[in-house]
Structure 1
Amino acid sequence: MRSIWNGAISFGLVSIPIKLVNATESHSISFRQIHSEDGGRIRYRKVCELEDREVTQAEIGKGYEDADGTIIPITDEDLSHLPLPTAKTIEIVAFVPADRIDPLQMDAAYYLAAGGAPAAKPYTLLREALKRSQKVAIAKYALRGRERLGMLRVVGDAIALHGLLWPDEVRAPEGLAPDTKVTVNDKELDLADALMDTLGEIDLDDLHDEYREALEEVVAAKAAGEAPPESPEPARGGKVLDLMAALEKSVRDAKESRGEGAAGQAQETGEAGEAEAHGEVRRLPARKSARAAPKQAGGKKSTASAAKKSAGKKTTAKKSTATAKSAQGAKKSASAKSTASAKSTASSKSTAKKTPAKKTASRKRTA
């Protein structure tokens, strides 16, 4: 990575030569201004208002505009006499806990690289000291013509420098909170906590710029002479009338998106809901008989009575069986008689029919 600034870290009486490199990069797609009719580039030209002519970069200097519109020229010679001890030095002024830094002050980020072999030892010493103390270093440095505030912290095996805004550059959020008095109850807070827990955490490496990817597809399609892809219409959000209902629906939607809908429903509705969610079928307990079981004290009497009833039933069964057998025998004999009579009748009829048939056959042979 190409360094954008060379200097040293001033750590008490210790000086650490370093190189400053950008820690971030922009992947945004930039456009050029063109003439819509013919596609020609639109360029900016630096023109002097007094002479009405274009000037070169070498002719351009700095000037401060006063309140009345007067321009006061400021030369590089004027700026060189400013008392700026941090012109080539990152001067550490304090070590504080990291939570003392307001994220609103965070600005651009840089990596600090050791400037050669002599810087390896003090560089490592500062890095390990920051690790063990679990603190960050507050420093001043000069970059691009002005003094800046910065924070040094450890990132992996390197030291990073975060540019910080000066405290008077951060605006106070006055007049931005709602003026209306609002009361939030515990149930609403519980639902909000449930929604936060359901959404859970996310690996920031999984996030990406979907707008840039869609824009690249549009550019690629136009370059190939194709129609740009159409994006689906965004879902229109309904008007929220009930905050509790909106929170409950948000929790349900978040659980369903993570595949936790069935489990969440089972947890809320108890064991019955859990069985239904998993497709389990439970058998109902057997119903008790309407008649009560006989008592142990009367067991002998009931047994004797049952034996008598059983003997009576057996005798009746034997008589009915004998009657049935005799009736069945009568039926069989009657059936046999009728069958014999039918056979004799059929035999006589068949004999009568066969005789004329033979005579006809003999006539045919004679002919």
Structure 2
Amino acid sequence: MTTSLLQPIQLGKVTLKNRIVMPPMTRSRANQPGDAANDLMATYYAQRSEAGLIVGEGTQISSMAKGYAWTPGIYTPEQISGWRKVTSAVHGQGGVMFAQLWHVGRVTHPDNIDGNQPLSSSAIKAENVKVFIDNGSDEPGFVDVVTPREMSIEDIKEVVAQFRQAALNAVEAGFDGIELHAANGYLINQFIDSESNLRTDQYGGCLANRLRFLDEVVAAMVDAIGADKVAVRLAPLTTLNGTVDANPEETYIAAASLLNKHNIVYLHIAEADWDDAPPMSLTFKQALRSAYQGILIYAGKYSVARAVQAIEDGLADMVAFGRPFVANPDLPSRIKHNQAWATHNPETLFGGAEKGLTDYPRFSQ
């Protein structure tokens, strides 16, 4: 039953041993101060290197791009060195790892960005959105986000350049490629979705204008490191962090077509996965498949059976399993041998040390 999920697949210039993806999951355990990846994170990712592809946790491209306390960056020499420990550990176990590069835009608080006002496509506060800050204890303090300032054209150019440099830094740090985080209500998503972008210049209004920032960031990264190392994550139906689009199917089919022109190595679709979330229709998935001809990854509470079906139906090439990878470092082996899955402890997802990160046993243990 699981054969199609366990088949190798070519991703750019690398051959993946299976079609099981460990997707990006924020764990907030970077070294402080400095937001550098560390030995603990290297152990965590190396433990999970049975995945065909690991996508690292969201990694900020600048000090202004940070949304939450204790997340890692990739813009200082110390941060690049920290990530090199991680990629070396993963490669030592035969794994393949991409970095997820993000800028959170308005989904932050001045306490996380050196007291500055956040940036966004427009000066619209994300309602009912909280982020956590370092309140001097091991427990994060949750606070409301604030109203951002609308980015100037100069700001936009600067952030495009930061994404380009971050892609170069990721390659220097040993990553096999990068995934651009254009999903879940963060900065690029704030430009794409109609209800979070009220601009009246070339970056707002019509759909082509709202996709322009995505287009420019991807073009810059492809130019820097090559299309075979650049991927993008989108979340068409999610309303996370207050971003909503009036016509998501039209918007995201157009985004997929745009990314197809850049010949990126994969497109990662995050399905809305809360209990009463809108399902992605079969026709929508088929339209995305038609619009984008590269490797398609889907994520969102997939069971093994549903993942196999998606691959066999030709809708997906690979499937990501998020939370199951937290508590099951050997998830591909458990899938192969039809072994039970452990459940994660939600109390230890963000912040802390080894507990709830590297102490989950393999099935054989």
> TM-score, normalising length from structure 1?
0.14
Give the structure with higher Rg (CA). Answer: 1
> TM-score, normalising length from structure 2?
0.14
More helix by share: 1
Structure with the greater relative contact order (CA < 8 A, sep ≥ 6): 1 or 2?
A: 2
